[in-house]
């Protein structure tokens, strides 16, 4: 059975105004100790052979070439050469993506980069709290191409404060001129404990929807497959690692805040950077949360994740038994539709997916009323 490996690197040059991920600015002095802790956790992994690899954060590209080489070495030592993974992705931010780092990644066998652009306008990047400019992104993107990466994802955000529909679409068209193999386009979400939340920023949901609708149509016209709510790919470049998540497959997560899902059991490591290092140094488990989903809860999560894929899912008899009434309700209200033997989100359902998804999350009687 295929299993994915995720490695979390929680270091950033600066926290973005919208970010609620487990990441930390100005903590680079801990990178060496963190890599040592990662090595200890890797040696304890119950799985040694993986199909896909994803190194996320944070900003993995903040590591120096020597530190990236050390990361690649520990991966190879415990799980085999990076080149053996069918897909190996590293997240990068433009300001820290250099030719020297690209060369390290390519030599190790990484075959995919995910670059956080977020906007094609400098004023919007500043509003988001990004530390790069559009020119910095273009320089990093060109370096990645010249360095041999032929599978690049670029992240884009819709609904940036002050953004107009025209400016968003202008940025989208400029990005299309670069022809990345994959795009992830997200509507801005205002999360608690972020600067945007503290400042009372409110998104214009109707404007954001127009942006995402236009994205859907324009990217399809440009030859991209809209295969997941927020993800578009040229044929054959759909993200294997993330698709594994949406198919509710097993995966191992290493690092602070990393989540593992194996045999129906979900575990999460401490999000505290220093506590994670300390626990690994003293031989204490880094896990601070664990749960096992069974029965209706597990089938509901499988269905929820599967419906993120826009091609839909073929319902199992157990899913029909437990969620048949809810599925019928959403077929009637137009948020779901049948496609052959599958059920999938309708066009309207793409934008109101949470109204569908909450039907499959316990407590089943109380939500979605």
pLDDT in tens, 19-39: 878 888 899 999 999 999 999
Q: Is residue 369 part of a domain?
A: no
Domain of 217: which CATH number? Answer: 3.20.20.70
- Domain of 318, CATH number, reads 1.10.10
The per-residue pLDDT for 17 is: 75
For residues 334 and 234, membership in a common domain is answered with no
Task: Return d(Cα 343, Cα 334) in angstroms, integer.
Answer: 12
Q: Could you tell me how many residues make up the chain? A: 369
pLDDT value of position 74:
97
pLDDT reported for residue 193: 86
pLDDT 10s digits, 254-307: 999 999 999 899 999 999 999 999 999 999 999 999 999 899 999 999 999 999
pLDDT value of residue 367: 41
- The count of structural domains within the chain is 2
Round the average pLDDT of the chain to a whole number and report it. 94
Return the pLDDT at 368: 42
Specify the pLDDT at position 366. Answer: 44
Quote the domain boundaries for residue 322: 295-360
Residue 331 placed within a domain:
yes
Tell me the percentage of the chain whose pLDDT exceeds 90: 86
Do both 315 and 184 map to the same domain? no
- Please, which pLDDT band fits residue 365 given cuts at 50, 70 and 90? low
pLDDT at 111 (0 to 100)? 98
Q: Would you call 290 helix, strand, or coil by DSSP? A: strand
CA angle 299, 303, 307 (to 5 degrees): 175
pLDDT for 158-180, tens place per residue? 999 999 999 999 999 999 999 99
Does a structural domain hold residue 104? Answer: yes
Q: Where are the beta strands (DSSP E) in the chain?
A: 3-9, 11-12, 24-25, 52-57, 87-92, 112-118, 152-158, 182-187, 225-228, 231-233, 250-254, 259-262, 265-269, 287-292, 313-314, 336-339, 342-345
Quick one: 45 and 184 in the same domain? yes
Q: What is the pLDDT of residues 96-120, one digit of tens each?
A: 999 999 999 999 999 999 999 999 9
Q: What pLDDT is recorded for position 1?
A: 66
Structure tokens that stand for 206 in this block: 């109707």
Chosen domain end from 245, 263, 287: 245
The answer to the question of residue 260 being in a domain is no
By percentage, how much of the chain surpasses pLDDT 70? 98
Pair 140, 115: CB distance under 8 Å? yes
If we measure between CA atoms, which residue out of 60, 141, 59 comes closest to residue 99? 141
Strand 152-158 versus strand 112-118 pairing type: parallel
Residue 310 sits in the same domain as residue 192: no
- 343 and 213 in one domain? no
| 356 pLDDT higher than 70 | yes
């Amino acid at each position: 059975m295929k299993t994915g490996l995720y490695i979390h690197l929680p270091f950033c040059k600066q926290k973005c105004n919208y970010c609620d991920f487990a990441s930390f600015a100005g903590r680079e002095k801990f990178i060496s100790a963190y890599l040592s802790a990662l090595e200890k956790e890797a040696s304890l992994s119950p799985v040694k052979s993986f199909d896909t690899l994803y190194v996320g954060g944070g900003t993995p590209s903040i590591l120096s070439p020597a530190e990236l080489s050390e990361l690649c070495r520990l991966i190879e030592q415990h799980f085999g050469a990076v080149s053996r993974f069918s897909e190996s992705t590293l997240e990068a931010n433009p300001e820290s993506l250099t030719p020297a780092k690209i060369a390290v990644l390519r030599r190790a066998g990484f075959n995919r980069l995910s670059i956080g652009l977020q906007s094609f306008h400098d004023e919007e990047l500043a509003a988001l709290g990004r530390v790069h400019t559009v020119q910095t992104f273009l320089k990093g993107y060109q370096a990645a191409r010249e360095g041999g990466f032929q599978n690049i994802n670029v992240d884009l955000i819709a609904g940036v404060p002050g953004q107009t529909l025209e400016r968003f679409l202008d940025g989208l068209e400029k990005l299309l001129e670069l022809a990345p193999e994959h795009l992830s386009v997200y509507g801005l979400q205002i999360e608690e404990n972020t600067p945007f939340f503290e400042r009372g920023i409110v998104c214009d949901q109707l404007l954001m929807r127009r942006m995402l609708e236009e994205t859907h149509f324009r990217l399809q016209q440009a030859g991209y497959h809209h295969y997941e709510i927020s993800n578009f790919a040229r044929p054959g470049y759909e993200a294997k690692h993330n698709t594994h998540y949406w198919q509710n497959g097993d995966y191992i997560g290493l690092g602070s805040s990393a989540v593992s899902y194996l045999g129906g059991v979900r575990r999460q490591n401490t999000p505290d950077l220093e506590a994670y290092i300390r626990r690994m140094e003293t031989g204490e488990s880094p896990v601070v949360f664990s749960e096992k989903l069974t029965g209706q809860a597990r089938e509901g999560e499988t269905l929820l994740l599967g419906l993120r894929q826009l091609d839909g899912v073929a319902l199992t008899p157990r899913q029909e038994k437990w969620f048949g009434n809810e599925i019928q309700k959403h077929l009637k209200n137009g948020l779901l539709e049948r496609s052959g033997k599958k059920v999938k989100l309708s066009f309207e359902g793409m934008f109101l997916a949470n109204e569908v998804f909450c039907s499959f999350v316990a407590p089943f009687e109380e939500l979605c009323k």
